C-alpha cells in the first residue's frame, strides 16, 4: 500500500470476526472502501471493544529498503516482526454510522521528511476472538487508479473461540416436587448468553408443559441481571407454555456472557392424574444445537373406607368429613383450585362423603401429613370426635393396599323389657313360705268384629313357639316342686313316728 504527499490521511479500521473454522485466507487490503473485504461485513459482523495501537515504522522500513529489500518484502517483514518503539496513537473499535467494529485514526502523511509507514497492531483482543488479527502495515502514499487516497480502509480479521454449548437450565424454584390442585408452581428457565452470541442467526426458547399444567400469563417475566428485557424478544404465550425469539441479535452485544432468566408460574388444573408425572419441557434452539431440559411435578391423594368397628367388612355410607393440614387449616375448593382457610365456617370447605360401600377419597394434595375431621356419622353410629391422621405419598392413592379404614361404633339399643316367662321364673325362684305359689293364668282374648275372618300374622307362629316353650318350662318347674313337696311330707311322717 503506497500513498502520496498530503498533510494528513484518515484511516478507518473495520474489525471483522468470523465463526470458528471460517476464517478466510489472508488477502491484500487495497485501502478502498469497496475493497473485497467490505462484502464480508454483509455476512459476518464487526467486533467492538478491540484496542488498536499505531506505530511509526518509517525508519525501520527505509533501513530495510537500503539493504536492497523490495518495498513489498520490507512491508511483510515489518508485519511479521511486530511493533518497534512506542505507540503514537490508540483507539477502540465501536459502532460508527451503524457499523460495529469500527475505529478511526488521523495520521501525518510524512515522518522525518519521508513518506510515512505505519503499523496497526491489535493489542487488546475481545474475549470473543481466538486469535488476534495479523499486523497491518500501510506505506504512504496509497493510490486508487492513479488517484491518491485521503481515506484508507483497513479490514483486520480474526476467528472466534471454539463454540461452547450455552449453559441452559430449567428449575422449580422451591424444589418441592409435589403440589396441591391449583397451587402456584414457580418455574425458571435460564441461559448464559454465549460469547459468540452476535454470530447467531437463530436463538429461541420453546417451553411446553403437560395439558394438566396451566400457565399464569400474568406471571411471565424476562430479565437480564434483574432488568426487564422483554422488549428485545418476540413472545408467544400459550395455555400450557411459551415461545420466545430474539428480534435483533445485535441488541445483545452488551449482554454477552450474562444470564437471561425467564420466570413464570403454572398450576395443576386436574385431579385425574394422581401419582403421575406432569412434565414441563424447555428447548433452547440455536444455529449450533438444540438443548432440552425437563422437570416434573406430581400431586397425590388418599383413599379411605368407613367400616363398622366390630365388622370391618361392613361399609358405612353417608359419613361426612373435612380435611385439615398440619396447621389445622381447612381444605377448601375455589374456582382456581384448592386453598386453605382457618375459618371453619367458610362456605367453600371441602366435604367428602362415604358411598354405599363406605369408600371415599381425597385427590389433589401435595405429599405430606393431614387430618380427617368427621362432621357427620353414618345413621345409627356414634360420631368420632378425634382427628384422624393420614399421610399422602407417591403411592398412597394408586395402591389399594394403602386404603385407610375409618371405624365407627354402633349406637347400643336399650335392654328389652321383662317378659312373661321371666316373671314366672322369678316367682318360682322366690316361693312364699317354702311353698311354690301358682297363679291362675288369665286368658286374654281380643274381641273380633263379627263376620270377619282373621288370618294368622307373621308374628303369630313365633308367639306360639314362645308359649309352648314357656309352658314346658313351667311344667318342669312344677314337677321339681312336687317332688320336693313329697320328700318333705315323707320326712314329716318319719318324725311323727
Looking at residue 145, what is its pLDDT?
83
Domain-by-domain residue ranges, the chain? 8-159, 167-297, 299-408
In this predicted structure, the answer to whether residue 371 has a pLDDT above a threshold of 50 is yes
pLDDT band at 5 (very low <50, low <70, confident <90, very high): very low
Q: How far apart are CA 83 and CA 65, in angstroms?
A: 18
Range picked from 17-21, 299-303, 433-437 for highest mean pLDDT: 299-303
Q: Is the pTM of this model over 0.75?
A: no
pLDDT band at 214 (very low <50, low <70, confident <90, very high): very high
CA–CA distance, 482 with 471 (Å, rounded to integer): 16
- Residue 233, SS3 per DSSP: strand
Q: Is 1.10.1200.10 the CATH classification of the domain at 167-297?
A: no
- Range in 129-133, 171-175, 220-224, 410-414 with the lowest mean pLDDT: 129-133
pLDDT value at position 493?
Answer: 61
Nearest-Å Rg of the Cα atoms of the chain is 51
Tell me what percent of the residues of the chain surpass a pLDDT of 70: 85
Distance CA 300, CA 275 (A): 5
210, 256 contact by CB (below 8 A)? no
pLDDT digits (tens, 9 = 90+) for 448-459: 443 333 334 444
Q: What is the pLDDT of residue 18?
A: 86
| pLDDT value at 210 more than 50 | yes
3-state secondary structure of 488: helix
The candidate with the shortest Cα–Cα distance to 17, out of 132, 136, 97, is 132
pLDDT at 465: 62
**How far is it, in rounded angstroms, from Cα 179 to Cα 298?**
6
Q: How many CB atoms lie within 10 A of CB 184?
A: 15
Tell which CATH architecture fits domain 299-408: Sandwich (2.60)
- Which residue from 189, 196, 259 is spatially nearest to 224, judged by alpha carbons? 259
**CB within 8 Å of 213: residues ≥ 6 apart:** 185, 240, 266, 267, 268, 269, 278, 280, 297
Distance CA 478, CA 465 (A): 20
C-alpha grid cell for residue 27? 488477502
pLDDT score for 45 = 84
CA distance 192 to 199: 15
Q: Which of 84, 131, 105 is nearest to 14 (CA)?
A: 105
User: What pLDDT, on a 0 to 100 scale, did the predictor assign at position 125?
Assistant: 61
Between residues 427 and 288, the one the model is more confident about: 288
Backbone angles phi, psi at 117, to 5 degrees: -125, 125
Could you check whether 8-159 and 167-297 share the same CATH topology? yes
Architecture of domain 8-159: Sandwich (2.60)
Which pLDDT band holds residue 242 (cuts at 50, 70, 90)?
A: very high
What is the model's pLDDT at position 164? 82
Render pLDDT for 116-172 as a digit per residue (tens, 0 to 9). 999 999 987 656 556 788 999 999 999 988 889 999 999 999 888 777 889 999 999
Q: Which of 300, 406, 395, 301 is CA-nearest to residue 358?
A: 406
Contact between residue 32 and residue 145 where contact means Cβ atoms under 8 Å apart: no
State residue 441's pLDDT score: 37
**Residue 172 backbone dihedrals phi, psi, to 5 degrees:** -105, 120
Residue 260: beta bridge partners?
Answer: 191, 224
Q: Exposed (0-12), middle (13-18) or buried (19+): which is 193, by Cβ within 10 Å?
A: buried
pLDDT reading at 418 higher than 60: no
pLDDT over threshold 50, residue 443: no
pLDDT tens per residue across span 263-282: 999 999 999 999 999 999 99
CA-CA distances (angstroms) from residue 357 to 295, 361, 478? 39, 12, 54
Of 322-326, 351-355, 379-383, 441-445, the one with minimum mean pLDDT is: 441-445
* Residue scoring higher pLDDT (371 or 414): 371
Round the average pLDDT of the chain to a whole number and report it: 86
Distance separating alpha carbons of residues 157 and 151, to the nearest angstrom: 20
The sign of the CA dihedral 270, 273, 276, 281 is negative
Cα 14 from Cα 28, distance rounded (Å): 14
Answer with the residue of higher pLDDT: 323 or 475.
Answer: 323
Least confident of 78-87, 136-145, 467-476: 467-476
The model's confidence at residue 463, banded by pLDDT at 50, 70 and 90, is low
Residue 281 contacts by C-beta under 8 Å, 6 or more apart in sequence? Answer: 207, 208, 209, 292, 293, 294
**The pLDDT value given to residue 491:** 61
Average pLDDT over every residue of 198-203: 86
Amino acid at each position: 500500500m503506497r500513498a502520496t504527499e498530503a498533510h494528513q490521511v484518515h484511516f478507518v479500521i473495520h474489525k471483522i470476526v468470523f465463526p470458528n473454522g471460517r476464517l478466510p485466507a489472508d488477502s491484500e487490503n487495497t485501502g478502498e472502501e469497496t475493497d473485497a473485504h467490505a462484502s464480508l461485513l454483509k455476512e459476518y459482523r464487526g467486533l467492538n471493544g478491540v484496542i488498536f495501537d499505531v506505530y511509526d515504522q518509517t525508519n525501520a522500513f527505509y533501513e530495510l529498503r537500503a539493504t536492497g529489500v523490495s518495498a513489498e518484502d520490507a512491508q511483510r517483514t515489518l508485519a511479521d516482526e511486530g511493533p518497534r518503539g512506542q505507540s503514537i496513537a490508540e483507539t477502540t473499535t465501536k459502532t460508527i454510522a451503524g457499523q460495529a467494529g469500527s475505529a478511526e485514526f488521523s495520521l501525518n502523511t510524512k515522518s522525518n521528511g519521508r513518506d510515512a509507514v505505519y503499523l496497526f497492531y491489535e493489542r487488546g483482543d475481545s474475549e470473543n476472538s481466538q486469535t488476534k488479527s495479523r499486523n497491518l502495515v500501510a506505506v504512504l502514499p496509497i493510490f486508487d487508479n492513479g488517484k491518491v487516497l485521503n481515506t484508507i480502509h483497513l479490514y483486520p480479521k480474526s476467528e472466534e473461540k471454539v463454540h461452547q454449548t450455552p449453559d441452559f437450565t430449567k428449575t422449580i424454584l422451591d424444589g418441592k416436587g409435589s403440589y396441591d390442585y391449583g397451587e402456584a408452581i414457580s418455574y425458571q428457565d435460564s441461559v448464559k448468553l454465549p460469547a459468540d452470541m452476535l454470530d447467531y442467526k437463530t436463538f429461541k426458547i420453546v417451553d411446553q408443559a403437560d395439558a394438566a399444567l396451566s400457565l399464569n400469563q400474568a406471571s411471565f417475566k424476562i430479565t437480564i441481571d434483574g432488568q426487564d428485557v422483554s422488549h428485545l424478544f418476540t413472545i408467544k404465550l400459550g395455555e400450557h407454555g411459551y415461545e420466545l425469539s430474539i428480534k435483533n441479535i445485535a441488541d445483545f452485544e452488551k449482554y454477552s456472557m450474562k444470564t437471561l432468566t425467564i420466570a413464570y408460574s403454572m398450576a395443576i388444573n386436574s385431579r385425574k392424574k394422581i401419582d403421575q408425572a406432569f412434565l414441563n419441557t424447555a428447548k433452547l434452539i440455536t444455529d449450533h444445537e438444540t438443548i432440552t431440559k425437563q422437570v416434573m411435578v406430581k400431586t397425590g391423594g388418599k383413599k379411605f373406607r368407613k367400616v363398622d368397628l366390630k365388622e370391618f367388612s361392613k361399609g358405612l355410607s353417608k359419613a361426612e368429613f373435612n380435611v385439615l393440614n398440619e396447621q389445622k387449616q381447612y381444605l377448601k375448593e375455589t374456582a382456581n383450585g384448592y386453598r386453605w382457610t382457618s375459618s371453619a365456617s367458610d362456605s367453600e370447605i371441602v366435604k367428602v362423603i362415604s358411598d354405599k360401600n363406605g369408600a371415599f377419597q381425597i385427590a389433589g394434595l401435595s405429599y405430606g401429613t393431614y387430618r380427617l375431621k368427621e362432621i357427620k356419622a353414618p345413621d345409627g353410629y356414634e360420631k368420632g370426635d378425634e382427628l384422624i391422621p393420614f399421610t399422602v405419598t407417591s403411592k398412597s392413592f394408586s395402591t389399594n393396599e394403602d386404603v385407610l379404614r375409618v371405624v365407627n361404633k354402633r349406637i347400643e339399643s336399650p335392654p328389652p323389657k321383662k317378659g312373661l316367662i321371666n316373671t314366672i321364673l322369678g316367682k318360682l325362684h322366690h316361693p312364699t313360705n317354702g311353698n311354690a305359689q301358682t297363679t291362675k293364668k288369665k286368658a286374654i282374648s281380643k274381641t273380633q268384629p263379627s263376620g270377619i275372618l282373621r288370618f294368622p300374622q307373621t308374628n303369630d307362629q313365633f308367639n306360639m313357639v314362645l308359649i309352648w316353650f314357656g309352658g314346658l318350662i313351667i311344667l318342669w318347674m312344677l314337677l321339681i316342686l312336687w317332688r320336693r313337696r313329697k320328700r318333705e311330707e315323707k320326712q314329716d311322717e318319719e318324725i311323727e313316728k
